[in-house]
Amino acid sequence: MIATAVLNVEKVSKTFPGQIALDHASLVVNPGRVHALVGQNGSGKSTLIKILAGYHRADDGAKASLLGKELDLVGGTGGVTERIHVMHQDLGLVNSLNSVENLALGRGFHTGFLGRVRWKDENARAKVHLATIGANFDTRIPVGTLTPSERSLVALARALEGWDDDGGGLLILDEPTAAMARLDVTHLFEAVRRIRSRGAGVVFVSHRLDEVFEIADDFTVLRDGKVVASGAVADLTHESLIELIVGRAIADIGTTTHEHAGEPVMEVRNLWGAQLEALDLTVRAGEIVGFAGLVGSGRDELPNLLFGATNRAAGSVSIKGNPVPADPHLAMCAGMALVPAERKRFGSIGHQTIRENVSLPRLRPLMSRGRLSRRLERADVAKWADRVELRPAEPERLFETLSGGNQQKAVIARWLRTSPSVLVLDEPTQGVDVGAKSTIYGLIGQAATEGMGVVVCSSESEELAAVCDRVIVLRNGRAVAELHGSSLSAESIVQQMLR
Amino acid sequence: MTADAVELVPAHGSTGTRRSSLSRLAPSRASIVYIYAAGFLLFAIWIPDLWFSWVTHKSVLNISFAVPAIVAVGLVVPLLTGAFDLSIAGVMSASAITSSWLIVDKGWSIYPAIGVAMIVSLLAGVVNGVLVVKVGINSFIATLGIGAVLNAYAEWRSGGLQITGLPNDFKDLARKEILFGAQAKVIYLIVIAFVLWYIIEHTPIGRYLQATGDNQDAARLAGVQTNRYIFAALMTSAFVAGIAGVIQTAGVGAGNANTGGPFLLSAFAAAFLGSTQFKGRFNVWGTVAAVWVLLSLVKGVELALQSYRWLNQLFFGTALIVAVGMSKLLVRRTVRLAGRRRQRDAAEATP
């Protein structure tokens, strides 16, 4: 390849407090090539993208050039240039406006006399623009009514505004297909190929490996913030790529198996959700069951379906023979507990104290002489803070002032305090530091030892492999595999998830 | 459903922990006490003769204080859950006209008439609850509409005229002097405020109301029946407004189709000003104190400048804006300080 690289970055590091997200990463994207950037959650992919897009600043020492011109990633303004466009998964379109208006929003409308929008011009421009990437649909209807692939084409067209002359630049597609059906993906890829043929460099981030093989020319694998491999996709096989992504050295979190699983505590029969299809599940006392799956596989909606926080399309859930209605309060009364994902939004009340957050589901036992006793409440919460190793163990602290790990411990304490029969955890270590992670794994194990049935839904395969007795893998809404014993490993989970 | 809750984020202190009860009287937490003291001093110098007369303060207590304070403490309950209730004025008018119409025009005896007025008020609360919780209409919109419908009912029922000729027994319900020259309506206020204070501060219900208002999604996932509490809160504010309508009618001695009108602004101003006092969230005694202080200041200026009708509107309108503005600024300060603290922690973590 003789032409200068579209993008050439070297020695990009990024340190967050207590964590190295990127460690001397490098990436070369050539013109007319699609470059796949792959790696597990937390491998540093999104950090790298965010540095390129100008959201984060790189640590000192990073070098970068774009189309031969130097790019300052350390100063923080480097990424902000017309020649880098990032298309995020959520597309950033205004659904109530039509394609023409969405295209014009970013740069402003072309106006004439008295500020009147020149609609004829705008419409013609938009048509031409969309046609160059192969889009052919009614540009006058709201984008909310378009198909997912058509919407993604509008977003693509908008990203390419101003590239008409020479077609050069860097286009970053950040998991564009995560919520897309197969047919839509095909349409999107056609557009990406057109852009490639115009000489642009494309960075493609995806969890779906068959898509990598379909669209990408080159690849870079990140693991724990480091580049572990880079080269041409043609030299890869499915297996060798998975091996590169997962790596051999899987962190030992101290696996404990609960072979002595007891009586069934939770029975799920023919459960349907928006994505989940016909799930049957029996969880026994003292057992930890994991659920793995990509976004959209049904894994992310399963916890809320069990707890009744979202409506079940069909099916039943029962605990020890008693049906669990689709209502969080009644599910709680039936003996279920849910530690939700997205702590800030769903798991906690940030500007209330730890005490109020922990005691909330169960206040009656804290009544004394007709009133809620602060004394009893403090003592009870202090006991639980101690049990989950909360730091600092100050019940009167505001919840939002704790670190992510300690917030999560407090949410777990809230639910352990209700002594449930079934404990469901959704992404239990999301935004949690390493130290707190092992404490949380310990708490999960202890809950099982005490006889609870535990369900863990997680996007981290290593975590599932280490914590769970068995892992059920969901793909396109269906349970496609159950892994346990020697067949359970981070690799086997990823393999089943991506197939 | 309660997207308006964003507006209601309470402003806590900035230390990261909630403070002890002693520091509740610090100037930043009980500014109203200091405002009152300053006003007291001002009028003591400006109009000493009038200001140091018992009659002045007694007239604030007996004439202007009780009814707006009752409406305001009732409003605290839905505000805690993040729901607005703009129908309270309409409910007051409806209950005022219903009770006086039944007594004067229909010749009912007092208590059954009051009973029907309370049923009408509760029904209004139920309709609000259904619209907000079941249908999912924003509480601001739903209660605005229902309030207007109730006003229309009051106008229609009264035929646009005052309903006069209420019996003295009825008037005495509000006016009778019971304790140290305080009229009965002040006693009602104290009883209602005490009951609501007890429920909000000392029973699990208070916690559930507050959790609902602070983060409805998280509260629901913590097993709190958020919909039930929003519904009950709207019924409470309507019931209390109904009581206030009857008391106001008895106090004035006539049924008026616009009984509730003037009390909407004062209730919101007092509840929001009260929310910046003592606790950093909506609370009963902060609200009662806000009504007392604002009305005393209005009275002082009224005496000094000899009665201006625009004073009430000016004071309560300003108080509402200042209170909400203050809590906004406090939240921003808290966020800034928390950010700085995290920065410091991070700096310590990575030497």
Instruction: Give per-residue pLDDT as tens, B326-349.
Output: 878 877 776 677 667 666 665 655
Identify the band that residue B20 occupies on the pLDDT scale cut at 50, 70 and 90.
low
Q: Could you give the angle at which helices B66-80 and B204-214 cross, rounded to 10 degrees?
A: 70
Facing residue for A398 by CB, picked from B9, B12, B210: B12
The 10s digit of each residue's pLDDT in B86-119 is: 999 999 999 999 999 999 999 999 999 999 999 9
Cα dihedral value B232, B237, B240, B242, nearest 10:
-100
Do B16 and A397 count as a contact with CB atoms less than 8 A apart? yes
**What's the pLDDT tens digit per position in B213-261?**
999 999 999 999 999 999 999 999 999 999 999 999 999 999 999 999 9
Given a contact cutoff of 8 angstroms between Cβ atoms, the answer to whether B32 and A414 are in contact is: no
Q: In the structure encoding, which two tokens stand for residue A127, read together?
A: 């048509």
| Contacts A412 to B, Cβ<8 Å | none
| Domain enclosing residue B23, as ranges | 3-349
Q: Smallest Cβ distance to B225: which of A329, A346, A348?
A: A329
> d(Cα A68, Cα A425) in Å, to the nearest integer?
48
Q: Is the pLDDT of residue A2 over 60?
A: no
Percent of chain A with pLDDT over 90: 37
Could you write out the DSSP letters of every residue in A265-321? EEEEEEEE-SS--SEEEEEETT-EEEEE--TTSSTTTHHHHHHTSS--SEEEEEETT
Q: Tell me the C-alpha distance between A393 and A401, whole Å.
A: 12
Mutate to test the interface with A, among B21, B203, B221, B227 (most CBs of A within 10 A): B221
Q: Kindly state the percentage of chain B with pLDDT values over 70.
A: 88
Phi-psi bin for A281: left (phi > 0), alpha (psi -120 to 50), beta?
Answer: beta
The model's confidence at residue B23, banded by pLDDT at 50, 70 and 90, is low
Interface check A351 vs B, CB under 8 A: yes
Query: What is the reported pLDDT for A328?
Result: 96
> Does B220 contact A328 at a Cβ distance shorter than 8 Å?
yes
Helix axis angle for A99-107 and A148-159, nearest 10°, is 30
Closest CA to A45 of A135, A178, A138: A178
Banded model confidence at residue A256, pLDDT cuts 50, 70, 90: low
Q: Distance between alpha carbon B87 and the CA centroid of its chain, in Å? A: 13
Dmax of chain A from CA atoms? 84
Is residue A267 pLDDT above 50, yes or no?
A: yes
Mean pLDDT across A282-308: 92
- pLDDT score at A442: 92
Grade residue A248 by pLDDT with cuts at 50, 70 and 90: low
pLDDT tens column, A319-332:
999 999 999 999 99
Q: Which of A225, A246, A243, A250 is nearest to A467 (CA)?
A: A250
A43: its two tokens: 């491998």
| Selected residues 238-267 of chain A with any CB under 8 Å from a CB in chain B | none
**Lowest-pLDDT range of A451-455, B151-155, B308-312:** B308-312
- The shortest C-alpha distance from B283 to chain A (Å) reads 15
Average pLDDT over residues A38-60: 81
Helix (H, G, I), strand (E, B) or coil at A458: coil
Distance of residue B188 Cα from the nearest chain A Cα, in angstroms: 23
Cβ neighbours of A361 in B, within 8 Å: 222-224
In this prediction, residue A82 has a pLDDT band, given cuts at 50, 70 and 90, of: low
pLDDT at res. A162:
64
CB spacing of A340 vs B221 below 8 angstroms: yes
Say if A189 is an interface residue toward chain B (CB within 8 Å): no
The answer to whether A348 contacts chain B (CB < 8 Å) is yes
Q: Cβ separation of B215 and A398 shorter than 8 Å?
A: no
- Which residue has better confidence, B113 or A148? B113
∠ CA A264-A268-A273 to the nearest 5 degrees? Answer: 160
A425 touches B: beta carbon within 8 Å:
no
Q: Could you tell me if A368 lies within 8 Å of chain B, comparing CB atoms?
A: no
Chain A positions in Cβ-Cβ contact with residue B202 (cut-off 8 Å)? 370-372
* Residues listed for chain B: 351
Q: Over pLDDT 70: what percentage of chain A? A: 92
Q: Is the pLDDT of residue A485 over 80?
A: yes
Token pair of B49 as six digits: 């003769």
**Nearest residue on chain B to A366, alpha-carbon basis:** B204
What's the rounded Cα separation, in Å, for the pair B112 and B230? 29
Cα gap A69→A4, rounded to integer Å: 10
Q: Per-residue pLDDT for B9 more than 50?
A: no
The average pLDDT across A325-348 equals 93
**Amino acid symbol at B331:** V
Which region among A373-377, A494-498, B52-56, B305-309 has the lowest average model confidence (pLDDT)? B305-309
Query: Which chain B residue shows the shortest CA-CA distance from A403?
Result: B342
A335 alpha-carbon distance from chain centroid: 29
Say if the Cβ atoms of B223 and A329 lie within 8 Å: yes
Can you tell me the ipTM of this complex? Answer: 0.82
A116/B contact by beta carbon, under 8 A: no
CB of A371 less than 8 A from some CB of B:
yes
- Residue A363 and residue B204: Cβ atoms within 8 Å? yes
For residue B96, the surrounding DSSP H or E stretch is: helix B88-104
3 state SS of A379 = helix
Whether the ω angle into residue A392 lies within 30 degrees of 0, i.e. cis, is yes
Interchain pair B221, A353: CB under 8 A? no
Q: Most B CBs within 10 Å: which of A324, A356, A358, A360, as the mutation test of the B interface?
A: A360
Q: Degrees (nearest 5) of the Cα angle A170, A174, A177?
A: 120
A308 and chain B in contact, CB less than 8 A:
no
- Split at pLDDT 50, 70, 90, the class of B71 is very high
**Range B103-135 burial, b when 16+ CB lie within 10 A, else e:** bbeeebebeebbebbbebbbebbebbbebbbee
Residues A113-123 pLDDT 10s: 777 777 888 88
Distance CA B5, CA A468 (A): 40
Domain count, chain B: 1
Q: Please check the confidence at residue B14 and state whether its pLDDT lies above 50.
A: no
Ranking A485-494, B13-22, B46-55 by mean pLDDT, the lowest is B13-22
**Shortest Cα distance, chain B CAs vs residue A58, angstroms:** 16
Q: Is the pLDDT of residue A411 over 90?
A: yes
Out of A181-190, A287-296, B68-77, B266-275, pick the least confident. Answer: A181-190
Size of interface A-B (CB pairs under 8 A): 89
Residues of B in contact with A18 (CB under 8 A): 349-350
Residues of chain B found within 8 Å of residue A349, distances taken between Cβ atoms: 211, 214-215, 218-219
Lowest mean pLDDT: which of A106-110, A124-128, B137-141? A106-110
CATH 3.40.50.300 in chain A: give the residue spans. Answer: 7-246, 264-498
B55's tokens:
């009659």
Give Cα separations from A442 to A389, A435, B215 (angstroms): 11, 11, 29
User: Which of A233-242, A326-335, A464-473, B3-12 has the lowest average pLDDT?
Assistant: B3-12
> What is residue A70's predicted lDDT score, i.e. its pLDDT?
79
- Paired sense of beta strands A422-426 and A453-457, if any: parallel
Question: Rounded mean pLDDT of chain B?
Answer: 88
* Residue A318 scores a pLDDT above 70: yes
pLDDT of residue A262: 84
The reported pLDDT for the residue numbered A424 is 97
Q: Quote the pTM value.
A: 0.78
What's the pLDDT at A118?
76
Rounded to an integer, the average pLDDT of A122-150 is: 80
Which residue among A360, A394, A400 places its CB closest to the CB of B222?
A360
Q: Which of A15, A370, A401 sits opposite B350 (nearest CB)?
A: A15
Q: What percent of chain B is predicted at pLDDT more than 90?
A: 69
pLDDT at B84 over 90: yes
Shortest distance between the Cα of B116 and any Cα of chain A, in A, equals: 32
Q: Which CATH number fits domain A264-498: 1.10.10.10, 3.40.50.300, 3.30.70.2750, 1.20.140.10?
A: 3.40.50.300
Domain holding B258: CATH number?
A: 1.10.3470
| Higher per-residue confidence, B11 vs B229 | B229
Q: Say what the pLDDT of residue A17 is.
A: 67
Say yes or no to pLDDT of B78 above 90: yes
Owner of token pair 């919520």: A179
- Give contacts of A 324-343 with B, CB under 8 A: 328-329, 331-333, 338, 340
Is the CB of B18 less than 8 angstroms away from the CB of A396? yes
At residue B298, the pLDDT reads 92
pLDDT digits (tens, 9 = 90+) for B25-46: 676 678 888 889 999 999 999 9
Chain B hits for A14, CB-CB cut-off 8 Å, are none
- Fold category of A7-246 in CATH: Rossmann fold (3.40.50)
